[in-house]
Amino acid sequence: MTAQDAPVARLRVRNNGAELLELVLECYGSDHWLRPGETFVVWTVGSSEGDPWPGTTLGNEPFQVDYRPGSVTVHFNGVHGYVTDVAGNEIACGHRRPVESESV
């Protein structure tokens, strides 16, 4: 298998709630915020040699997902991971991050 043959996995994350939903991509810790009704896609590229998903702790799985109210964390288990919209445009860290108001 060559680098061109590296496996690619994707996971769609949709916000079916009424508020912003935080999507955290680990191991980077990058945050991306989805509006209600919006869908992002998490991608990971596996290794082209040996185990394609070397970061996994639960067998040969490209992703592990953790949920807590208002936030979803996706752990990608490939050698690289990133977030896009459904059209394939990469979404930067901090996309739509709420601005915290300061107390006076």
Structure confidence by residue, pLDDT tens digits, 15-28: 999 999 999 999 89
Classify residue 69: in a domain, yes or no: yes
Which residue spans within the chain are E strands per DSSP? 8-14, 21-26, 30-34, 39-45, 63-68, 71-76, 80-85
**Number of structural domains found in the chain:** 1
**Domain enclosing residue 23, as ranges:** 3-85
Strand duo 30-34 + 63-68: pairing: unpaired
CB-based contacts of 100: which residues, under 8 Å, 6+ apart? Answer: none
Cα–Cα dist 95/52, whole Å? 29
Classify residue 77: in a domain, yes or no: yes
Cα–Cα dist 24/83, whole Å? 10
Classify residue 64: in a domain, yes or no: yes
Q: How confident is the model at residue 2 (pLDDT cuts 50, 70, 90)?
A: very low
Q: How confident is the model at residue 91 (pLDDT cuts 50, 70, 90)?
A: very high
Classify residue 74: in a domain, yes or no: yes
Cα–Cα dist 21/95, whole Å? 11
Classify residue 103: in a domain, yes or no: no
Strand duo 71-76 + 21-26: pairing: parallel
Classify residue 75: in a domain, yes or no: yes
Classify residue 51: in a domain, yes or no: yes
Structure confidence by residue, pLDDT tens digits, 24-67: 999 899 999 999 999 999 999 988 887 888 766 666 889 999 99
